[in-house]
Structure 1
Amino acid sequence: MLQIENVVSDKGSKYAVSGGAVASRDDALAFIKTLKRKKKYAKATHNTWAMIQSDGTQIKNDDGESGAGAIILRMLERDGVFDHIIVVTRWYGGTHLGGDRFRHVQTCVRTYLDALK
């Protein structure tokens, strides 16, 4: 599991990104469960995630951050990353971010994908 913390801070909200190899929905759910064993991640406002299986099946979970899973999927697809989960974690800081939240999700995913290279 690769974890990168403090990727973005904006108006009190803080973002982190995590990921690792998974081959199925069950693997993805086990990954999330492992991530949430850390109290910090279990208490996060959102743990948005997505993965694309090698057969092309796309799986995502917005975890209350509507549309964020689709952003992760699009970036995985663009980079040709399969059988790998990316989780963007947000701790809400008390101020709504509007559309900036999508830019922050993109920044987190790009940071993660760059770290894989």
Structure 2
Amino acid sequence: MKVDASAGGSSQERSAAKASDPTSADAADDAGAKPRAALQDELEKLDERLKKLYEPIEKIFEEKLKPGLAKLPTQAQIDAARAREGEAARAREAEPSRADLQPSRTTAQP
């Protein structure tokens, strides 16, 4: 049977158990202050590095891809063009054909 050092024993044993236990609140306060500041500095450095790495990608997008995207029609423009095509097709169907307008050539000659 195991006995927890923090459950009983002398005050020295309990303080030693707290110091070795990374989940204790006292240990987190003492040991966490420095690493948090160091982690914050490291995060800032990594963020700065990422910004430098993304600069060429953003430049390529802005200078090369974005102008090409601006030339492409939007979905609304595509839909409007399809609607105009449909209207034109219906208008062509409603018009009489040339064959209907020309006189028949099969008439007898005198």
Please tell me the TM-score bracket, short chain as reference: under 0.3
Higher helix share: 2
Highest relative contact order (Cα 8 Å, sep 6+), 1 or 2? Answer: 1
Relative to its length, the structure with more strand (as a share) is 1
